A and B are shown apart, each in its own frame.
Chain A
C-alpha cells in the first residue's frame, strides 16, 4: 500500500536560524502519528508546513500521491484543530461547523445571506450542508450546543465544536496542534479516547502534535520524537519506550524519568561504580551513559556481583505504586526506583540497599547520545533477576 502522507527532506529556516533539518516521514492510510517533543523543537512548524500554512525552504509534501508542496492550505483538503480552538466567536456552533462546507460547496454568490437562498438548487445545497452539520453534531453529541456561540460554551465543548468543524467535510488528513492542552486533566484523558475513535472512524492520516509524552504514547500508532528540528526516532509507542535509539528520546519519554548513570566500557562490559552491569558491547574501551527505567531498578538487601549500592532517602506511597528516592553514593546523584505497592515496606529510610536491573533493561548510550546495542546472546544477566 502506498503511504497516504509523505514528507521528503523538509528544511525550514527562520532568518538565519534553522528550525527543521531534513525531516522525512511516511504515514500509512489511517495511521495516527504523534509528533512529540519539548517546546521549540519545531513540531508545530512542521505541522504548519504539512498544512500549507507555512512554506518549507526545501523538500516536499505528498498527500495521496499528489505533490501538494506548492498548493496553498485551502487547496490541500486537510483539516486542522488548534490549541486555541480558533472558533469564529461571532458565529454559532452550527455556523462554525457549516463554514468549511459552505466555503467548498457554495460559490460566493450563493453564500450571500439573503439573496443567496433564492434558487431551489441553492436551497437544496444549503439544506444538505445543514444535514451534514446535524450528522456530525450527533456523532460528537453536541446537538444541544449548535445554537450557542463559543463564549457560551466551556473549553471542552468548544474543543468538540472545533473537532466537528474539522471532521464535517471528511478531509484527506487531520492535523492537530496540541488540541487538548487547554483542557483540565480529567477531560483530557476522556477526550483522548474520543479523538482516537474519531480518527479510526474517518480512516485517514492524523498527525497529532503534543508536548505530552503520555498523550503521544497513549494515542498514537507511531510516535515521532522531535528535538532541535530533527526526528530522533519514529517507532511504535512500545519501541520508543523500551528500545530508544537516543539518550534524548529515553529521557524525554517516561515519567518518572529514566535514571542516567555514568559508566564506561571495558573489554566489552559496561561498568558503573566498579560493578559490571551488562556485557557483550563491541568497540573500544570508552565512557558511556547507562539508562535504567525506574520500574526496572530492582531493590534488595542482598549484595550480588552485579548490584550497585544505593542509599534510600525516602519511600513515596502513591497507591498503585511506591516510588523510592535513592542516592548513588559513587557520585551523589539521585536515582528513582518504582516498586509494586507491596514491595519495600521492610526498607528503612537512610539505609544502604542494593539496586540491580536485568541485562536487557540496561540501556547504554554513547557520548554522542546514540544507542550502543549489545549482542544479547553473549550477555551475562544478573543472576537473581534475569528475565
Chain B
C-alpha cells in the first residue's frame, strides 16, 4: 500500500522534491539576507564589546563595560536626549497636522489631487538640496522667517545658530518633511471608511462634526494611525541629513543626535568599537518601536 509506505518513510519522493524546490527558491534571498544583514549585524554586535579602532591592529575585549562606558558618556547621553526631544516634537505634530490636513482635503472634492501632490513634494524632494533652502529661510538676518517675525513685531530668532532652539528649528524641518507622507497615509485611511457608517451615525443622532469624528473617523482610522505613528517615530529617530548639512551637531553639541554621533564616532574618529555599541543601542530603540506596533497596540486597533 502506497499509503503505508509513505507513512513508514515519512516522506514521499514528491514531498522530497517539493522540499528541495522550496529551499532552492528561498536560497537567493536567504543568502543575501545572511551576507548583507545578519552577518554584519552580528559583526557589529561583536565589535561593540571591544575598543576597536580603525587602523589599530590590536584591540581589547571590554564586554559589558563597553556599554557601561557608553551610558556614562555625556556626549552619547546628550545625543540620546536630543533625539528623544526631536522625536517628541516631530512625531505628534506631524501626525496631528497630517490628520487635520487629510480631513480638510477629504472634505473638499475639488483640488484633492493637487493638494495631495503639493503636500507630498517634501517627501520626494532631496533633503540635502532642500537644506540650503532652509538655511536661507532660517538665516538670522535676511531669512524670510525672521522677516515675518519682524513684520509681526516679534523678536527675531537665531534659528539654527542658538543652542536653545536649534532642535526646534530642526524639528520644524522634520515636521515639514513628515506631514506630506502622513497626510497621504491618512487620506488612504479616510477613503477606506465605509460611508454607511457616517450615514448610520447621522441617523443615530450624531450631530456635531466633533462627535462624528470621535464616533466614526477616529476609531476607524485606528490601524492607519498606529502605522503612521510608528513609521513617523522611526523616521524621526533616524534623523541625520538635516543635522549633517545644517548644524553638524552644533552649536555646542545642542543638535547632536544618535545617528550623527554614531557617524562621527565611526567615520570621523574611527572608534569602531564605540560606534558599534551606539549602533546596537540605536537598533534596540528601533526594535522596541516596532515591537510596540506589532504586539501591544495591534490588539486594540484591529477589529477582526
Contact = CB atoms under 8 A, between A and B. Distances in A.
B198 to A, nearest CB: 9
B227 to A, nearest CB: 16
A80 interface: yes
A315 B207 CA distance: 60
Contacts of A38: none
B65 interface: no
Nearest to A73: B202
B220 A89 contact: yes
B197 A74 contact: no
Interface in B190-212: 194, 196-197, 199-200, 202-208, 211
Contacts of B204: 74, 99-100, 103, 165
Given A89-B220, A108-B211, A53 B205 contact: no
A357 to B, nearest CB: 46
B219 A90 contact: yes
Contacts of A353: none
A296 to B, nearest CB: 42
A189 B222 CA distance: 37
A74 B205 contact: yes
B117 interface: no
B215 interface: yes
Contacts of B200: 80, 82, 86-88, 165
A146 to B, nearest CB: 17
B202 A84 contact: no
Interface residues of A, number: 28
Interface string A159-174: 0000001000000000
Residue of B202, B204, B205, B208 ringed by the most chain A CB atoms within 10 A:
B204
Given A80-B200, A82-B199, A84-B196, A89 B303 contact: yes
B194 A79 contact: no
Interface string B235-246: 000000000000
Nearest to B206: A103
A163 B186 CA distance: 32
Contacts of A99: 204, 215
Interface in B35-56: none
A78 interface: yes
Interface in A51-103: 51-53, 72-74, 78-80, 82-84, 86-91, 99-100, 103
Query: What size tier do the contact residues of chain B reach?
Result: 20 to 34
Contacts of A104: 205
B216 interface: yes
A242 B207 CA distance: 46
A193 interface: no
A128 interface: no
Contacts of A88: 197, 200, 215-216, 219
A150 interface: yes
A82 B197 CA distance: 9
Contacts of A383: none
Given A82-B200, A88-B197, A150 B206 contact: no
Contacts of B211: 103, 108
B304 interface: yes
Given A82-B196, A108-B211, A150-B303, A74 B203 contact: yes
A149 interface: yes
Interface of B: 194, 196-197, 199-200, 202-208, 211, 215-216, 219-220, 222, 303-304
20 contacts: A48-B199, A51-B199, A52-B202, A53-B202, A53-B203, A74-B204, A84-B194, A86-B194, A86-B196, A88-B219, A89-B220, A90-B219, A90-B220, A100-B205, A103-B204, A103-B206, A150-B303, A151-B303, A151-B304, A165-B200
Given A78-B203, A86-B194, A150-B303, 13 more contacts: A51-B199, A53-B199, A53-B202, A72-B207, A73-B202, A73-B203, A74-B203, A90-B303, A99-B204, A99-B215, A103-B207, A104-B205, A165-B204
